Structure 1
Amino acid sequence: MTISLLLACVWALLATGIALGPQRFHWPAAWVLIALGVPLVGWVTYENGPLLGLIALAGGMSVLRWPVIYLFRALRGPRDHAGE
């Protein structure tokens, strides 16, 4: 197992531990997890190939699903319901 995969597993365990903690820590911890996870996914992809990189990305997105949902909502833009 490469160091990048080992650190990705540690990241997942850390994210799970944070999820079990008090809810007031979730959003600040999510920003830290994102800041650590993005370069980690790049490192996993670089060392182990695109398939394991996509698996690591999917795992991170499943743990941090609400920031991803909010990102997609922001990218979609405001929805005008006046025409309905």
Structure 2
Amino acid sequence: MSYSIIIGCLWVLAATVVALLPMRRQYVPGVSLLVLAPPLIVWVGYDHGWIYAVLGLLAFLSMFRKPLAYFYRRARGETPDIPR
């Protein structure tokens, strides 16, 4: 098994643990996972092909749809509500 897949599996386990935390404790580890995901997806794509990178990107967008929508709204100048 390649190192990119091993690190990807560890990333998935970390994301699962973060998802089990209360919402107010998810911000810091969630943002770090959000930042680490694109380089990891590129690394997996480099090692195993572009189709796996596309599948990883779709999974990433599915998991982080609300934080990405929040950042998109902030970039547009809106002030979206933050959950408590």
**Common fold: TM-score over 0.5:** yes
Normalising by the smaller structure, the TM-score range is 0.7 to 0.9
Identical residues among aligned pairs (%): 32
Q: Which runs of 5+ in 1 are unaligned?
A: 80-84
Length-normalised TM-score, structure 1 = 0.76
Q: Which residues of 2 match residues 55-70 of structure 1 at below 5 A?
A: 55-70=55-70
Comparing 64-73 with 45-54, greater Cα deviation is found at 64-73
Per the alignment, in what secondary structure is the counterpart of residue 68 of structure 1? helix
Greater Rg over alpha carbons, structure: 1
1:31 is aligned to 2:23: no
State the match for 2:18 in structure 1.
Answer: 18
State the match for 1:40 in structure 2.
Answer: 40
**One-letter identity of the residue aligned with 1:67:** P
Comparing 42-51 with 1-10, greater Cα deviation is found at 1-10
**One-letter identity of the residue aligned with 1:31:** V
Q: Which runs of 5+ in 2 are unaligned?
A: 79-84
Cα distance in 1 for partners of 2:67, 2:32 equals 12
State the match for 1:82 in structure 2.
Answer: none
> Residues 18-58 of structure 1, C-alpha deviation per residue, up to 9 Å, x if partnerless?
10012112121121102221211110111111100011111
Tell whether the 8 Å contact from 1:44 to 1:52 is kept in structure 2 after alignment. yes
RMSD (Å) for aligned C-alpha atoms: 1.9
Residue 74 of structure 1: how far off its partner (Å): 4.3
Cα distance in 2 for partners of 1:55, 1:30 equals 20
Q: Which structure has more RCO (C-alpha within 8 Å, separation ≥ 6)?
A: 1
Cα distance in 2 for partners of 1:9, 1:51 equals 18
